A and B are shown apart, each in its own frame.
Chain A
Amino acid sequence: MGAAILNSQNIGTGSTRGVRLDIEGVSKRYGERTVLHETALHIAPGEFVAIVGRSGCGKSTLLRLVAGLEPVSAGSLQVQGQRVAGLHEDTRIMFQDARLLPWRRVLDNVALGLSHQAPTLVTACTALPPEGAAPALGRPGGGRATRDQASAVLEQVGLAERGGDWPAKLSGGQRQRVALARALVHNPRLLLLDEPLGALDALTRIEMHQLIEGLWQHNGFTALLVTHDVQEAVALADRVVLIENGRIALDERIDLPRPRARGDAAFAALEARILARVLQRPAGAEAGHALSGTGPGQGGEPAWPGPPAHGLRWAI
């Protein structure tokens, strides 16, 4: 089901470069505190999944586990069938703050870490390495090729002429675009976005949505976006996953055609529904509905109406 949607989205490149991500029974504990409870999530290659939730619900922790920044306490976490153990060169993460090196000019920031790995964006897009094989391309020839590569990606994010500036001269939105370019120059197969637009103003945010969506469609990576902005999730993602108290409480497919118009009635309805679900606190009897992922009024199967008045009769 996911594949059909994905193929239609990646017409430009013909096939997806994205990786499959399988999260199975993953828990994370910090001392006594359990942040994630036996979470299971499966993401198809090239899929765009948004994780929403209140702050402190464990969504960023999940992202850090996938990135290999922290080890899982229990369960299995596999990228393309391979267990995640530490950092991986096909995975890139974009943080809430741009984390640009202030003492490096914009272009050098983009080229950071390029010199000793990563195939060029262009060659990697045209010649896909076989499944599971490490990219066999050698080092790009010295600083010149690296800089060309970096400025090509910088142009993709619309900052070609700012390559010689210090990061301190850029606006917040521009810095995040540089951070995006820095992630994309490695041509990742899995891009993790940790609330990357949280600190931006509303207009810049909408521009960034379009940019991220376009680059995702063009490059075909798998994307995992953590956000607290439901509208952002609905605008970008194929699936919106809600994490509540360390558990997945909702997994909603967004079948709206792209590009998605925010004024659209279907968009607004979806957004309102998911937002209502996010705001609803799971407590007591409600928790059962919440965890099943089919709360009332979600258009799925009708909620279990409870036992009939005359009682239940079991037939085996």
Chain B
Amino acid sequence: MGALMREVQVTPLPDVVEAPGDGFLPLGAATPWAESPVGLFLRAVAQRLLPWLVPVGLIAVWQVASSLGWLSSRVLPAPLAVLQAASGLALSGELWQHVKVSAGRALAGLAIGGGLGLLLGLLTGSVRLAETLLDSTVQMVRNIPALALIPLVILWFGIDESAKLFLIAVSVFFPLYINTFHGIRHVDPGLIEMGRTYGLSRWQLYREVILPGALPSILVGLRFSLGLMWVVLIVAETISAQAGIGYMTMNAREFLQTDVVLVGILLYALLGKLADVFARGLERYYLRWHPGYQKAGA
């Protein structure tokens, strides 16, 4: 019996290194060099580089295919051509002009629509009467896709700036409104009761308990709004514009400058990514108390 027990060996668990968000990479745990500092360093480097392998490879294949003439530059210009177009536009200053106009539109629309959504959400979340009066109306209107309003918006505003601002404002309004409203409604009632018993005034209760409690939800609303903001901006700019990234791409399409079209598409992607990074940064800062946003050991 005892001998039998000794026979049973404890198999060590496979040494699995988990890369944040990228699945795991079982890397040469069994090889002896893996334990040395050099081995550890190499493993760390490999872990950082491996996720880039596929995208970089794809771009390389794309470049080679274009250079060998397998891909027509009308369909898809080579990555280097796109880079050249981008640098040309950047050097001439045209690029920044368009980016400035587009970003200005997007942010102005966000400020108007998002600001109104936030205010109205705070109001209906906090005041019963306001909810009774307004919420069902807002919920009904919410079902209309903002882009379906385009014909109407053109009739109302023509095709100038205000039409674009209106479309963006309408589309970012609802995510912020709904998430603010629900955030306020889902603040832990126990915390509110605690605040009352500990002598907080109404305003203090609002500032110390209700607003911070609703903030995670409000920030989710902001991220949704930012995503929608770019989509609607692209559509609005594609319809008609005298400046902006959309104007630049539509113009380039007229002249079959596929490389510039690609630059425009990539610019939209970049701006969207920037907005998302910004929203994540806000979350990381304002929700640093939240276990989900705390780094291990920080």
Instruction: Enumerate chain A interface residues (CB-CB to B < 8 A).
Output: 67, 69, 87, 89, 91-93, 95, 97, 99, 101-105, 112-113, 116-118, 166-169, 182, 186
Instruction: Enumerate chain B interface residues (CB-CB to A < 8 A).
Output: 188, 190-191, 193-201, 204, 208-209, 212-213, 215, 287-291, 294
| Cα separation A102 to B200 with both chains bound (whole Å) | 17
Indicate whether A103 sits within 8 Å of B212 (C-beta atoms), given known contacts A168-B289, A168-B294.
Answer: yes
| Cα separation A91 to B196 with both chains bound (whole Å) | 12
| Cα separation A186 to B198 with both chains bound (whole Å) | 9
| Cα separation A183 to B209 with both chains bound (whole Å) | 17
Chain B neighbourhood of A182, CB < 8 A: 198
Closest to A108 in B: B208
Chain A neighbourhood of B195, CB < 8 A: 112-113
Give me 16 other A-B pairs in contact (C-beta within 8 A), A89-B199, A103-B213, A168-B291 excluded. A69-B197, A87-B199, A99-B188, A99-B193, A101-B208, A102-B290, A103-B212, A103-B287, A103-B289, A104-B212, A105-B289, A112-B198, A112-B200, A113-B195, A117-B199, A182-B198
Check B197–A92 contact: CB distance below 8 A. Answer: yes
Chain A neighbourhood of B290, CB < 8 A: 102-103, 168
Check B198–A116 contact: CB distance below 8 A. Answer: no
Closest to B212 in A: A103
Check B289–A102 contact: CB distance below 8 A. Answer: yes
| Cα separation A102 to B194 with both chains bound (whole Å) | 13
Q: Which of A67, A93, A101, A105 contacts B191 (CB 8 A)?
A: A101
Q: Which of B190, B201, B208, B294 contacts A97 (CB 8 A)?
A: B190
Chain A neighbourhood of B289, CB < 8 A: 102-105, 166-168
Interface centre among A69, A101, A168 (most CB of B within 10 A): A101
| Cα separation A186 to B199 with both chains bound (whole Å) | 10
Interface centre among B193, B198, B213 (most CB of A within 10 A): B198
Please name the 8 residue pairs, one residue from A and one from B, whose CB atoms are nearest each other, closest first. A113-B198, A99-B194, A103-B212, A103-B289, A168-B291, A113-B199, A166-B289, A99-B190
Chain A neighbourhood of B188, CB < 8 A: 99
| Cα separation A112 to B212 with both chains bound (whole Å) | 14
| Cα separation A92 to B194 with both chains bound (whole Å) | 10
| Cα separation A129 to B294 with both chains bound (whole Å) | 46
| Cα separation A118 to B195 with both chains bound (whole Å) | 15
Check B294–A166 contact: CB distance below 8 A. Answer: yes
| Cα separation A26 to B211 with both chains bound (whole Å) | 37
Check B198–A69 contact: CB distance below 8 A. Answer: no
Q: Which of A67, A91, A93, A101 contacts B209 (CB 8 A)?
A: A101
Chain B neighbourhood of A186, CB < 8 A: 198-199
| Cα separation A113 to B289 with both chains bound (whole Å) | 20
Chain A neighbourhood of B198, CB < 8 A: 92, 112-113, 182, 186
Chain B neighbourhood of A92, CB < 8 A: 197-198
Q: Which of A93, A101, A166, A168 contacts B197 (CB 8 A)?
A: A93
Closest to B194 in A: A99
Chain B neighbourhood of A89, CB < 8 A: 199
Check B190–A101 contact: CB distance below 8 A. Answer: no
Chain A neighbourhood of B193, CB < 8 A: 69, 99
Chain A neighbourhood of B291, CB < 8 A: 168
Check A67–B197 contact: CB distance below 8 A. Answer: yes
Indicate whether A116 sits within 8 Å of B209 (C-beta atoms), given known contacts A95-B194, A97-B190, A166-B294.
Answer: no
| Cα separation A241 to B193 with both chains bound (whole Å) | 26
Check A99–B191 contact: CB distance below 8 A. Answer: yes
Closest to B286 in A: A103
| Cα separation A113 to B37 with both chains bound (whole Å) | 53
Chain A neighbourhood of B215, CB < 8 A: 103
- What are 27 of the A-B contact pairs (CB < 8 Å)? A69-B193, A69-B197, A91-B197, A92-B198, A93-B197, A97-B190, A99-B190, A99-B191, A99-B193, A101-B191, A101-B209, A102-B290, A103-B212, A103-B213, A103-B215, A103-B290, A104-B208, A104-B289, A112-B195, A112-B198, A112-B208, A113-B199, A113-B200, A116-B201, A118-B199, A168-B291, A169-B294
